[in-house]
Structure formats: structure tokens, C-alpha cells
Amino acid sequence: MNTTRRPPAIAMRTAAVLSETTMRCLRIYATPDGESHFDEIDIPTTKRPVFPDTAPFELSAHYPASRIRFTRIPAAMHEVGCHTVPERVLTVRLDGSVEYETSDGEVRYVQAGSFVLVEDTHGKGHISRHSAEGQTVIWIALPNGLDLPSG
């Protein structure tokens, strides 16, 4: 194991690459009257070096997650009518695509590689129209959504 310390010049260069950035996340939520809507939220990130001599990564804060589920949606699922989710969940679409429609009539297309915070746990819900091919989706239960814990 190499335990040598970095020269001060490299440490100073590393500190200089820290900068604030954001990632965008599509959100589906319900208002108190039960209508579902879309929103886009910014997830604050900071560029930080993770490995020596590599470009910095954009890292967010840690968000509490209570469990994770790997899901395979079968081919030809087509449309799932109005439904809500049982808890706040961040969906990460690994392949396939889906079109979501909220109760206010707005439609958004979500492709593979995207993530969506689904928070409409009450009300009229949303419609999901799935692509013809099977899809792999990771569901991550987030008890606080993407709200950072205080303190």
C-alpha cells in the first residue's frame, strides 16, 4: 500500500476543481386536491475528485433510502391506467421507455437512462404507457423524497 502524501501543489489543484452544479430530475406529484402534475427539480451537486488523476465527478448529497427493488416489466405491457404509488419512489430506467400522463393531461416521454421521482401517493394518479419491449427499472424507496434532512 502506498502511503505517501500528495505534494501540496497537487492538493491545491484538487481544491480548485470543486464547483457547484445541478442535475435535473423529472417529478410526478399530487396536489392536495388530488390532481397529479409534473415538475422538474434541481438536485445540487458538487464536482469533486474521486480518484487521483481523473476528471472530477458530480456528486449529490446522500439521500436516505429505505429499500431498493429491481423490476422487469414484461414486453407488451402497453398501458397501465390511472394509478398512484404506495410510497415516494425514485425510478431509474435502465432500458425501454415509458410515456407518463398526469391527471392534468400533460404527457412526458421518459427514455432509458432517465430517472423520475414519483410522489403521487394519493389522488387521481397517473397513466403509464410502456414501450413494446420489456423494460428493466430500479425502484428506490425514498421516505423523504429528494428533500435533504435538516441539520
Rounded mean pLDDT of the chain?
A: 87
Q: Is 33 helix (H, G, I), strand (E, B) or coil?
A: coil
What's the pLDDT at 16? 43
The DSSP output letter for 124 is T
3-state secondary structure of 77: coil
User: Quick one: fold of 24-41+63-141?
Assistant: Jelly Rolls (2.60.120)
Residue 13, pLDDT > 60, answer: no
**Residue 6 clears pLDDT 50, i.e. is over it:** no
User: What's the whole-number mean pLDDT along residues 57-77?
Assistant: 93
Which tens digits make up the pLDDT trace of 31-55?
Answer: 999 999 999 999 999 999 999 999 9
Strands 115-118 and 57-60: unpaired
Spell out where 33-88 has E strands.
Answer: 36-48, 57-60, 67-73, 79-83
Mean pLDDT over 111-131 rounds to: 96
Whether residue 15 is predicted with pLDDT greater than 90 in this model: the reply is no
* Sheet of 36-48, strand order: 57-60, 36-48, 19-30, 115-118, 89-93, 135-141, 67-73
pLDDT-derived band at 150, boundaries 50, 70, 90 = low
Spans of all domains in the chain = 24-41+63-141
CA distance 90 to 108: 16
pTM of the predicted structure, to 2 decimals: 0.82
Q: How many CB atoms lie within 10 A of CB 108?
A: 16
